[in-house]
Amino acid sequence: MLTLQLLRVRTRNGVIFPLFCTKEEQIELAKKIIQEFEQTWNNKERKAVLEDRIAAIEESDAGSDYKLVRGFYALLERRCTFKSKDSNSDNDGGGTSNTSTISIIDPPRIRKAVFEESSKRGFALTELERREIAGSVASKLHLSSQDVVLKAMWSDLDDNLILDHFDTIHPEALVGWYNLSLMQTLLFNCTKLDFYISGGLNWKRVLRSVKRLGLMYHLQQPQQQQENRIICSLEGPLSLFKLTDRYGTLLAKLLPSIIFSSDKKRGSSGGEWHLEAWIVRKTMEGRKIYEFKISKNEIPELMTDPYPSFPPSSITEKEVAGPSSGYNNYHNFDSAVEEKFAKRFEQAETGWRLTREPDPLVLSNGGAFIPDFIFEKYDKKVYLEIVGFWTKEYLDRKLQKLADIFASTDNRKKNNNNNNKDKSDLLFIAVNEDFACSKSSFSSIVPKGQLIFYKNDTVPIKPILDYLKSIDREMIERKVNDPNLKIELDKDDINNNNAIISINEVAQKYGIPTEVARRISLRDNKEKYIEAGMYLILKSKAHKLESLLAGTSRFIDACSILSKEGIPESCHAELIVKLGYDVSWQSIDASTAVIVKRRE
């Protein structure tokens, strides 16, 4: 964070936005200032010398922004270690010394002794009198010479401090750090901050930071917004009556958690975030409130948080571009129970998308509850929370949140004009009964059909699969019975001149489930097509195949004929039966099977 005097922004029509560094010449400026710090450090020069060099850059670089130069300087100064000048050195700003800094005498003590001696002798009007006073002080303090006194006397003043160590930084990393600091400084004068992030893992990390920093927050889900987004509102420092500086600093520390919450690299579809704040600025007309909005796609490419790895030894990709990927839906589980459940569910191949730790469910008090899993399909959401090892305090908090959630669900059911026939937004609770957990504690809160007890670290998957399948059936029936959804295969040039049509390709073309595509295709085209496996065969084509099979007795010969006619192997057996033949299997060897024409 920078001082308010160094804040660079633009304002227009009630909107305020930081002046980020995005130009190549600004990176070159950062490089030049870093080099001045490095040179001062290598030469062990005084801070005043460094200040003069930075001032020279301000004057020599045409078009350089004073606030930008001083902003870079302020950030780099935090990576420096200064110490008092070596009191036994004859070097006055350049070079190094092999002697050690005085450890038993510090400059304030020397100054006090000099002033006391001067008050006894009177004001020193000549250089000789000045050196006599210094020599007397050196004798009293057991220092080697009067020169030591004269050099060490003012060595602790800011301009005389020696740059003892500088933790260098790459120019791109400095520019990224500066861009972050601009946003932090801008938010120091905000009255309110609203932000949204995607993904339960991101929410969990950011909310943990919010609580750790002691910030006041409230979660809400605005009714008027088109997208189903959860907004976290934070009180700004200017909304408080006291502790403004401290609270503003804490809010600034939270900003990197929001910006770098993304689990994926910038530009990907995941890890979205959006921030909106209201900033107070002093104008000629008095104090005015400006609106500040920014999202993941609007921040500059260079945005760096140096503190997690400070002090860095060298530039890294992470330091330049910020954190990138590190999580996905099925890794980094909190427990073996979660991992085992996720693997078993994926093996079931339900077609439902499983995501670990989704966006929070908002509690009535503005708090958050983040389930372990969410199952998504048809724009519907089903949640699962797994309660494993617990303490009494953990269980009490969990039960309190669950009571809030299910009470809100009951209220929605009562207000639902459709009598809640639409299956969606259900929360299953799986409780480990191996830890002597009171079943009645959960049974009194969680509806019977949504409560699952498990043992041996294995959550039963059947209750969840049954519920998801019931939604599948409901949605299939709804789509099949939709009179506006029609499939006219004669107009769809999908495969082989419409003589052989893949149901999977029909489903993909219309963007509907395979079962829906199958039933609607047969409903709308039953007079022209027959079904065989996952294919629809034109009846005229079927009649031709029937005639080609006449006189054939071996199953493999029949399959050979169908293959030559372009019939997929996966539906050979079923199509042969549909064409009026019975297949007699002598063994598992297909070469021994025979086909017999059924009598009419």
d(CA 356, CA 30): 42
Lowest mean pLDDT among 215-219, 258-262, 331-335, 389-393: 331-335
For 93, how many CA atoms within 13 A lie in the half-sphere containing its CB?
Answer: 8
Residue 427 β-bridge partners: 383
User: Who contacts 2 (Cβ-Cβ below 8 Å, separation ≥6)?
Assistant: 71, 74, 75, 181, 182, 184, 185
3-state secondary structure of 511: coil
d(CA 470, CA 449): 13
Residue 4 β-bridge partners: none
Phi-psi region of 529 (alpha: psi -120 to 50; beta: other; left: phi over 0): beta
pLDDT (0 to 100) of residue 102: 42
Name residue, tokens 């790895």: 309
Hey, what amino acid is at 194? D
Q: Which residues of 309-323 are buried (b: 16+ CB within 10 A; e: fewer)?
A: eeebeeeeebbbbbb
pLDDT (0 to 100) of residue 17: 92
Q: Specify the higher pLDDT residue, 227 or 254.
A: 254
Residue 32 DSSP label? H
**pLDDT for 389-429, tens place per residue?**
666 777 777 888 888 888 877 666 555 554 444 455 689 99
d(CA 360, CA 374): 11
The neighbour count for residue 98, using CB atoms within 10 Å, is 7
Residue 444's pLDDT band, with cuts at 50, 70 and 90, is confident
Residue 323 has pLDDT above 70, yes or no: no
Residue 458's pLDDT band, with cuts at 50, 70 and 90, is confident
d(CA 393, CA 377): 35
pTM (2 decimals)? 0.58
3-state secondary structure of 410: helix
Q: Would you tell me the crossing angle of helices 514-525 and 503-510 to the nearest 10 degrees?
A: 100
- H or E stretch covering 147: helix 146-152
The neighbour count for residue 68, using CB atoms within 10 Å, is 20
Q: Specify the higher pLDDT residue, 413 or 102.
A: 413
**pLDDT for 126-181, tens place per residue?**
778 777 777 777 777 777 777 677 677 666 677 777 888 889 999 999 999 999 99
Q: What is the mean pLDDT of residues 523-546?
A: 88
pLDDT (0 to 100) of residue 60: 76
Tokens at 511, concatenated: 């963007």
Count of residues making up the chain: 600
The neighbour count for residue 437, using CB atoms within 10 Å, is 16
Tokens at 562, concatenated: 């169908």
**pLDDT for 480-513, tens place per residue?**
888 888 887 766 555 556 788 888 888 888 888 8
Contact 548, 558 (CB under 8 A): no
- What's the N-to-C CA distance of the chain in angstroms? 89
Residue 101 has pLDDT above 60, yes or no: no
Contact 54, 69 (CB under 8 A): yes
Please give the full DSSP string across 524-572, using - where no structure is assigned.
HHTTTEEEETTEEEEHHHHHHHHHHTTT--BHHHHHHHHHHTT--GGGH
d(CA 546, CA 595): 13
